[in-house]
């Protein structure tokens, strides 16, 4: 998804991870895998903003993932 790609790009550029060292499986260094792990563990502080009928609706990513 775009969210994973955007976060992976941030990680590749040196952004700090939202994971603890013991949460990262041994040998995993790929930014996409790390971004997916952050998403799976609910660590991405991402909110989507949608414009609906001239209003902004803010959707927390956790709400979308259930």
Identify which has the larger pLDDT, 57 or 64: 57
Q: Is the pLDDT of residue 66 over 70?
A: no
Q: Which long-range contacts (CB under 8 A, 24 or more apart) does 41-48 make?
A: 43/18, 43/19, 44/3, 44/7, 44/18, 45/18, 46/3, 46/7
Identify which has the larger pLDDT, 43 or 61: 43
Total domains in the chain come to 1
Could you read off the pLDDT of 37-60 as tens digits, one per residue? 999 998 888 888 889 888 998 888
Range of the domain at 32: 2-65
Give the CATH number for residue 60: 3.90.940.10
């Amino acid at each position: 998804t775009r969210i994973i790609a955007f976060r992976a790009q941030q990680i590749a550029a040196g952004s700090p991870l939202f994971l603890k060292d013991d949460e990262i499986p041994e040998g995993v260094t790929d930014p996409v895998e790390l971004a997916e792990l952050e998403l799976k563990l609910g660590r991405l502080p991402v909110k989507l903003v949608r414009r609906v009928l001239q209003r902004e609706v803010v959707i927390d990513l956790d709400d979308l993932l259930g």
